[in-house]
Chain A
Amino acid sequence: MRAAARRGAGAPPVARELAAFTRRNPLAAAGGLVGFLIVVMALTAPLIAPSDPLKADFRRMAKPPDAHSFFGTDQVGRDTLSRVIYGSRSSLVVAFASVLLGTTVGSLWGVASGYLGGRFDLVSQRITEVLQSFPDLILAMAISMAIGTGMPAVIIAIAVTRIPFGNRVIRSVALTVRELSYVEAARAAGSSEPRVMFHHVLPQCVAPYLVLATAHLGVAIIIEAALGFLGVGIPPPTPTWGNMLADSLTSLVPRWWLVFFPGLAITVTVLAFNLFGDGVRDTLDPRLAPAFLRMLTGGRRA
């Protein structure tokens, strides 16, 4: 322990934190690293992709993996590797944006309903209950059908399914914090209700908020892929992992490389984010473990 502290003494604080995180949670750190690399891959897609993901090549249609195209080509000769690399862009943008949007809206709502209580809380809880009565994917399908295809629609559809989780978890935090004596002191000192809510209660919700957000990234990626697979996600020809899997069903002769690689990309990404999310949870709030299950059961008797 002391040796480790000495080794990290000269390093900047961020590096020291990272080193400590890695020592405590090697798996989570590995997940974080892989997740980071996937983000880098998405950002630098034009530089690293071997060819244009949209360019059809009729001399090389439906070729299995070879030295020319490592992941093979699809029915119209597009390079699968390039499409998988570009596909990470839509997956990540949708996942980050929808989780950020959904968790933020849900959390702010949760703070308000936990802190204010009363009739507002009662109505909020009923609405949450109703929203949670839809299976995630089915609600997302219905919403994206209603507001049309395209990336914003998919982001909103997935974000709505994340709202109840943020609401429930953060509400329970706000309920506890509301009773603490420093909040009472603030109120006694004459702070207005919004001020107490935003300056004193909200900061306590940051850690659970981060835990929630990272925990839901993986789910968001799977829902995005499922929407694309079912033909109600981001419309083709944009390469997304879900769209690629849907495309593979249209060929009469099944081609394993068109199924295997996009799905592998989904699995690796989700696995990386899930492992990282578990580590973040253990670091920020050890009481929550095994939180992914408690979160699922969030608020119910268990």
Chain B
Amino acid sequence: MRKYLLRRALFGLSTLLGVSLIVFVVLRILPGDPLVAMFGIEGFAKLAPADRAHIMEDLGLSDPLPLQYVRWMRDIASGSLGRSFFRGDKVSELILHRGPISAEIGLMSVLISWLIGLPIGIVSAFRPNSLSDNVARTMSVLFLAIPGFWLGMLIVLAALFWFNYKAPLVVVQLWQDPWTNLQLVIGPALVLGLGQGAYIARMSRSCLLEVIREDYVRTARAKGLQEALVVMRHALPNALLPVVTLSGILMGFVLGGSVAVEQAFGVPGLGRSLVVAVIERDTIVVQNLVLLYSVIFVFVNVAVDLSYAWLDPRIHYR
């Protein structure tokens, strides 16, 4: 087990090394001059070549690429992650300031997706083709097609029209003011949770339908167990494994989707910072945030893989 853990961790680390290389290469080698973005095309034309060189020097962009990469890795190792081109802030401070809100949104959305998706999947699987099954399936097909950020915008509009309610839009951490913080994160979490919930419902339905045909479920029924016990104790645990995997893969949907959904709600989370940095061509911020999102994605999926041994005693790692 320990050996497997080590191997899996090394594998994840090497993947992330590849990720950092791709991010770096994409943002440096491909065209797109940060100075043009900083000063505009006209401002850029007015700059004397010496000034251009000087500013590039200041930003550390005129060094050879391998040196820049090594410097980035050093900044990561030191924990500061480098500085934003525009505001000179440390990226690590930006992440500490805005990250918690996005993390809350992500965690809460996963929770919501399970709370909504699993019961719907169970009901659907045990009454296939009933009215509730059909309603649930239609809803899940529909929610796969609705873009989360649009749903978010509609919710904001509806709250404003009908209740004249506007969510607070400043950074308020959970430990500062839980109630305001909740109002900030509940909208995005709900939208992302519904989107994932649609997948979870479909997956748990189809997995349960496979499991309840098994002999041991029939045995459980034959010995006179209540239907609820058959589901909760016998069928569900075996059907859950693929659903857990799916939830890990959906993390990509959450991380990417949260960027657009935060924008729709106007929540000042990490996603908003990423969007602003992309538009401002703040390369240092973008490379760190993209790497951070990928680190989380990879980490969650490694954790999902490892949780198998705990969820399914039949699996042994060597």
Contacts and interface: CB of A to CB of B under 8 A. Distances in A.
Contacts of B203: 290, 293
A256 B161 contact: yes
A150 B149 CA distance: 22
A147 B32 CA distance: 6
B259 A138 contact: yes
Interface residues of B, number: 59
Interface stretch (A58-66, A75-83, A182-190, A221-229): A221-229
A86 to B, nearest CB: 19
Contact of A230 (B14, B259, B308): B259
Contacts of B253: 135-136
Contacts of B264: 229
Interface in A124-145: 126-127, 129-131, 133-139, 141-143, 145
Given A147-B31, A230-B259, A263 B249 contact: no
B5 interface: no
Nearest to B280: A145
Contact of A301 (B30, B245, B260, B297): B245
Contacts of A254: 156-157, 160
Nearest to A146: B30
A260 B146 CA distance: 12
B263 A296 contact: no
Contacts of A213: none
Contacts of A232: 275, 278-279
B22 A130 contact: yes
Interface stretch (B75-83, B94-102, B108-116, B286-294): B286-294
A129 to B, nearest CB: 6
A133 B147 contact: no
Interface of A: prevailing SS: helix
Interface in B223-272: 241-242, 245-246, 249-253, 255-257, 259-260, 263-264
B206 interface: yes
Interface of B: 14-16, 18-19, 22-23, 26-27, 30-32, 141-142, 144-147, 149-150, 153-154, 156-157, 160-161, 199, 202-203, 206, 241-242, 245-246, 249-253, 255-257, 259-260, 263-264, 274-275, 278-279, 281, 286, 290, 293-294, 297-298, 305, 308
27 contacts: A129-B15, A130-B22, A133-B294, A135-B252, A137-B259, A138-B290, A138-B293, A145-B281, A146-B31, A147-B32, A226-B147, A229-B260, A232-B278, A232-B279, A245-B150, A259-B153, A262-B150, A267-B142, A267-B147, A271-B142, A293-B199, A293-B206, A296-B250, A297-B242, A300-B245, A301-B308, A302-B241
